[in-house]
């Protein structure tokens, strides 16, 4: 009869790793609660952002999306 060692769960982390994971989770929760509202932009401002997206798309060869948020 072959006894294989119990496979550890991804949730069973060493204490130092668990503490780091908990700290990161807390930081992400705080970031979610401190999110910034989407900026209300004029048509000309939206045009400027669209042109910047196009330029970045051409330069980088990637689909780029810029988002405007109001600072608090």
pLDDT in tens, 7-52: 555 567 788 888 888 888 888 777 765 677 888 999 999 999 999 9
Domain with 50, as residue range(s), is 36-72
Domains in the chain, number = 1
Is 26 a domain residue?
no
Query: Does 64 map to a domain?
Result: yes
Alpha carbons within 13 A on the beta-carbon side of 7: 2
Q: Are 69 and 39 in contact (CB under 8 A)?
A: yes
Q: State residue 15's pLDDT score.
A: 81
What is the C-alpha radius of gyration for the chain, rounded to an integer number of angstroms? 22
Q: Extract the tokens encoding 53.
A: 């997206």
Q: Does the predicted TM-score (pTM) go above 0.75?
A: no
Cα(57)–Cα(50) distance, integer angstroms: 10
């Amino acid at each position: 009869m072959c006894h294989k060692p119990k496979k550890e769960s991804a949730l069973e982390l060493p204490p130092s790793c668990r503490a780091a994971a908990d700290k990161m989770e807390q930081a992400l929760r705080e970031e979610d609660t401190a999110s910034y509202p989407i900026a209300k932009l004029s048509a000309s401002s939206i045009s400027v952002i669209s042109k910047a997206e196009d330029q970045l798309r051409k330069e980088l060869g990637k689909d780029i999306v810029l988002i405007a948020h109001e600072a608090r």
